[in-house]
Amino acid sequence: MGVRARMQELSPEVRKAGFDEVERGLAIHQAIAEASRCLFCHDAPCVAGCPAGVDVPGFIRRLKTRNFVGAARLIREANVFAGVCARVCPAEELCEKRCSSTNLSEPIAIAALQRFVADEEMKRGIKLPGPGAPTGKKVAVIGSGPAGLACAHELARLGHAVTVYEAEERPGGLLVHGIPRYRLPLAVAEAEVGAVLQSSAVEVKTGVRLGRDVSAADIRRSHDAVFLSPGLGYQSSLGVPGEDLPGVLQAGEFLRKVATGDDVRLAGKVVVIGGGNVAMDAACSALRCGASEVVVLYRRSRDEMPAWNREYEFAAAEGVKFEFLTTPVRFVEDGGRLTGVECVGTRLGEPDSSGRRRPEMIPGSEHIIEVPTAIVATGQAPWPGLVELFGGLAAGKGDTIEVCRETQMTPVEGVFAGGDAANGGATVVQAVAEGKRAAKAIDAYLRRVCK
C-alpha cells in the first residue's frame, strides 16, 4: 500500500523558542500519494468515526484527481471548521482509528489530507453556502465558539435570522481565545470564523455577556428559540492555602493572554498542576514564554492521566518533566509572593465516581518545590449562574447544562444547548456536531411550534 505520508515538524529545540505552527503540512506530491492509498470503502467506517460526518472517501477521491477546492467544499458541507479540526482534533482516536487500511498497513492520514485541501481552499478564499429564503423566525445563539457558529450557520442556511451574542470583543470562542498558536495559527481560526459569519449574514454582538449586558428574559422575549453555547470557564480551585498569591496563575487566563498575543514573560522554574490537555498546553506555552524548566504535577499515575497521548508525548519531547502521584497542599510565600509549592506524595486507592483510582495522601511525604510561578490547570466548569439564568434549566454531570442528546434541547421549551457547556469539554469536532444537531432540532421546533 505504500508508506503513510507524514508532515514535517519543527524540532523540539526550534519550536519551543516561539509560537510558530509546529506541523508544516503535506506537499502536493505527498497528498496525492497518500490519497492513492485510500481503499474508498463502501459504507466507510471512517465516516462513522467522525462526529461531524465528513464524507472522507468522497473528499479524498476529489483530492486524488487534484480537485482540491471541490474536496474542501465537500468537507465543509459537514464541517465548516475543516482547517481547524484537521489541526486540533484527535483523528487517531476518531476517523483514523476506524480506517480499513489499518488492517493492511497504516491508517490513511485523514487529518493531514483534510488540512491540505482546507489550506489550498484558504489560499483562494473560503466559500460557504449563503442564507436561505427568510422564514421570519429569530434565533439567539449565546457564544461564538465552534458549536455556536456551526449552529448559526446551519440555521441561516435554513432561512432563520440569527443573532450571536459573544462576551469577548472578538468572535471565535476557544479557537481564538484558548488554543495555543503553535497548534492553531490565528490566521486559520480567523479565516474560518470570518467565512462562517460573512457567508451566513449572521449578526454578531460582541462584548455582550448574558446576565450582565442582556437578560435571559430579554433574549427569550425577542427570539423564537435560543441556543446556549458559552463554553466553559477555566476558574478552578484547589482549596489549598495561598491560591490567591501573585505568581499563582489560572491556566485559562494564562492561555487566553498567550493566544491573543499578550507579551507574557515567565522566568525560572514553573510548575503546572493538572493532567489534562489544558495542562499540556499550559506547560508547552510556559516554555515558550521563557520558563527555564517546566514540571507538571499530577496526583494520579500516567495511566489515569486524561490528556491525550499525543499531547503528553508532545510536551515530553519539548522537555516538560512530570511528577506523578504528587499533589499540592499549600502555596508557599515570602514577602507576599509565591516562592514554592508544598506537595505530598499519593498512592492510588479504590476507584472514585470517575472510574479512576482515588489518590490518597501518604503521611510524611511532604516536600517543597521552589518556584516563582505555578499554573493551575485542574479543570473547567460552566460559567457560574448559567443554569439559573433560564428558569427550568437542569444541571447535568459536573454542573453542565442537561440536554436531550438526540436534539440538544434542554428541559425549557425552545432553549437548546451544546458544546463544552453541555458536554463538559470535548473536541472541537464534537462541538460542531452538536451545533449542527441543535440547528436541525431548532428548525423542526420553529416549523412545528412557531407557525
Asked whether the predicted pLDDT for residue 67 surpasses 70, the reply is yes
CA distances (Å), 124 to each of 28, 69, 294, in order? 16, 9, 41
The 248-250 sheet, strands edge to edge = 248-250, 373-376, 269-273, 293-298, 321-324
Whether the pLDDT of residue 166 is over 70: the answer is: yes
SS3 356: coil
Average pLDDT over residues 121-126: 93
Which CATH architecture best describes the domain 138-233+381-449? 3-Layer(bba) Sandwich (3.50)
pLDDT of residue 353: 76
397 pLDDT exceeds 80? no
Grid cell digits, residue 31: 497528498
Task: Give residue 1's pLDDT.
Answer: 59
Mean pLDDT in the chain? 92
- Does 119 have pLDDT greater than 70? yes
Q: Round to whole Å and give the CA distance between 51 and 39.
A: 21
Residue 169 is which amino acid? Answer: E
Does the pLDDT value for residue 132 go beyond 80?
yes
**Is the per-residue pLDDT at 260 higher than 70?**
yes
Q: How confident is the model at residue 163 (pLDDT cuts 50, 70, 90)?
A: very high
**Pick from 353, 332, 320, 190: nearest CA to 261:** 190
**What proportion of the chain, given as a percentage, has pLDDT over 70?**
97
Please, which pLDDT band fits residue 394 given cuts at 50, 70 and 90? confident
Nearest alpha carbon to residue 160 among 408, 435, 446, 418:
446
- The whole-number pLDDT of residue 380 equals 74
Q: Is the pLDDT of residue 101 over 90?
A: no
Mean pLDDT of the 216-234 span: 89
Mean pLDDT for the stretch of residues 161-168: 95
Q: Minimal CA–CA distance to 183: which of 117, 240, 244, 258?
A: 258
Domains of the chain: which residue ranges?
12-124, 138-233+381-449, 248-376
Distances (CA, A) of 274 to 117, 237, 249, 386: 36, 12, 13, 25
Which 8-state DSSP code applies to residue 144? Answer: -
pLDDT given for residue 405 in this prediction:
87
pLDDT on residue 398:
67
Q: What is the predicted pLDDT for the residue at 60?
A: 97
The confidence score (pLDDT) of residue 286 equals: 97
Residue 248 is given by DSSP the state E
Mean per-residue pLDDT, 81-104: 90
Q: Average pLDDT, stretch 297-319?
A: 95
What is the spatial distance between Cα 306 and Cα 357, in angstroms, rounded to a whole number? Answer: 13
Specify the 3-state DSSP secondary structure of 328: strand
Q: How confident is the model at residue 384 (pLDDT cuts 50, 70, 90)?
A: low
Give the Å distances, CA to CA, from 257 to 7, 156, 176, 179, 265: 29, 32, 11, 11, 11
Residue 396 has pLDDT above 80, yes or no: no
Question: What CATH homologous superfamily does 12-124 map to?
Answer: Alpha-helical ferredoxin (1.10.1060.10)
> 185-199, 376-390, 411-425: which has the minimum mean pLDDT?
376-390
What are the beta bridge partners of residue 164?
141, 204
What is the model's pLDDT at position 167?
Answer: 92
Domains 138-233+381-449 and 248-376 share a fold: yes
Q: Which cell numbers hold the place of 383? A: 460559567
CA distance 318 to 296: 13
378 against 59, higher pLDDT: 59
pLDDT at 266 over 80: yes
Q: Architecture of 248-376 per CATH? A: 3-Layer(bba) Sandwich (3.50)
Q: Is residue 219 very low, low, confident or very high in pLDDT (cuts 50, 70, 90)?
A: very high
Which residues 6+ apart lie within 8 Å of 213 measured at CB?
207
C-alpha cell at 306: 486524561
Please report which confidence band the pLDDT of residue 449 belongs to, taking 50, 70 and 90 as the band edges: confident
Residue 183 above 70 pLDDT? Answer: yes
Q: What is the reported pTM?
A: 0.93
pLDDT at 88 over 90: yes
pLDDT tens per residue across span 27-47: 999 999 999 999 999 889 999
Question: Which tens digit of pLDDT belongs to each residue from 314-366?
Answer: 999 999 999 999 999 999 999 999 999 999 999 999 888 777 889 999 999 99
